[in-house]
């Protein structure tokens, strides 16, 4: 009995000691977990923050690069248009083009520190100031600096271009053959005309009083009959519309019978048309 009492006493004492030490154990465990969580967050921040900064700086870089490209493209187009007006002189050079581009860029107050060599790093030596087709082909090249050199590239090479037709005039025999005759046809017509002033296509419309219709005559002495397209419509204010070469009267000046959609074509394309009887086609 005495031995059993002693064992029970020891059991109660150890249990009491366990309960009394539990808060301290929990405190140590909580502190260990907090320290671990803070350490994990520090590691994640150390990994993610540089990546976020990399993305933001890249977006800012490409936005600025696009702005520079737009300014240079505008300057190239303006320079090309300017040079095309003086192409007939034949003495334009790449150096002249470079000087004009610098003049246009200086007006924009653009910062070109992103370009390798600054504004002096812009080149026009690939340009053709007047090629065989009488075109001013302006080619602008430069290299954009990289904000951080990760893969060992020296920069981003950029080439921009503006091409315009030089104002050199026109020589009919420049292409080794005579200029082909131009004739005139209407959209729904079946004849071709040698001149755009033919009375069949160059209509002179005049207004007349409908009450005087019986006494009205065209240039050939013919009377006027109602137009098939607009003759059935009401006559407004008693006015009709006629031409000196036509034989119909119209109730509106917007009638398609008074309109001529004239096309100018080479005579070689007029094989399906017959000559006009008035203009000697």
* 10 Cβ neighbours under 8 A, 6+ residues apart: none
Separation in Å, CA 199 to CA 70, 238, 266, 277 = 53, 26, 20, 11
278 neighbors 243 (Cβ within 8 angstroms): no
Q: Can you read off the two tokens belonging to residue 196?
A: 């755009």
Which tens digit of pLDDT belongs to each residue from 195-221? 877 777 767 778 888 888 888 888 778
Which tens digit of pLDDT belongs to each residue from 125-178? 888 877 777 788 888 999 988 877 666 677 889 999 988 888 776 565 555 555
**Beta strand 239-243 with 182-186: parallel, antiparallel or unpaired?**
unpaired
Mean pLDDT rounded to a whole number for the chain: 76
Q: Can you read off the two tokens belonging to residue 77?
A: 């187009």
Give the pLDDT mean for 34-39.
Answer: 52
CA distance 114 to 148: 12
225 neighbors 248 (Cβ within 8 angstroms): yes
Strands of the chain (E only): list them: 135-144, 156-165, 182-186, 191-192, 205-209, 225-226, 239-243, 248-249, 262-266, 274-275
Position 17 pLDDT exceeds 50: no
pLDDT value for 173: 55
User: pTM for the complete prediction?
Assistant: 0.45
Q: How far apart are the first and last CA of the chain?
A: 146
Domain ranges across the chain: 50-165, 182-275
Separation in Å, CA 144 to CA 29, 68, 89 = 56, 10, 35
CA distance 225 to 223: 7
Which residue did the predictor score with more confidence, 30 or 141?
Answer: 141
Position 91 pLDDT exceeds 50: yes
Give the pLDDT mean for 235-247.
Answer: 82
């Amino acid at each position: 009995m005495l031995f059993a009492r002693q064992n029970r006493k020891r059991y109660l004492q150890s249990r009491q000691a366990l309960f009394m030490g539990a808060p301290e154990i929990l405190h140590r465990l909580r502190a260990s977990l907090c320290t671990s969580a803070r350490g994990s967050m520090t590691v994640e921040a150390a990994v993610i923050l540089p990546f976020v900064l990399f993305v933001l700086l890249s977006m800012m870089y490409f936005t600025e690069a696009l702005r520079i490209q737009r300014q240079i493209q505008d300057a190239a187009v303006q320079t090309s248009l300017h040079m095309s007006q003086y192409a007939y002189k034949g003495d334009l050079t790449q150096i002249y083009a470079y000087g004009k581009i610098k003049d246009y860029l200086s007006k924009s107050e653009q910062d070109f520190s992103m370009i390798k060599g600054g504004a002096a790093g812009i080149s026009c030596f690939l340009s053709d100031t007047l090629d065989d087709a009488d075109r001013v082909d302006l080619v602008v090249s430069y290299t954009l600096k990289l904000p951080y050199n990760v893969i060992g590239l020296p920069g981003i090479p950029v080439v921009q271009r503006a091409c315009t037709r030089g104002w050199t005039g026109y020589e009919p025999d420049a292409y080794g053959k005579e200029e082909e005759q131009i004739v005139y046809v209407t959209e729904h017509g079946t004849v071709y005309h040698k001149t755009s002033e033919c009375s069949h296509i160059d209509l002179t419309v005049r207004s007349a009083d409908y009450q005087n219709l019986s006494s009205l005559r065209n240039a050939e002495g013919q009377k006027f009959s109602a137009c098939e397209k607009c003759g059935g419509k009401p006559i407004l204010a008693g006015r009709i519309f006629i031409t000196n070469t036509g034989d119909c009267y119209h109730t509106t000046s917007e009638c398609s019978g008074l309109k001529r959609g004239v096309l100018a074509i080479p005579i070689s394309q007029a094989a399906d048309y017959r000559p006009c009887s008035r203009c000697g086609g």
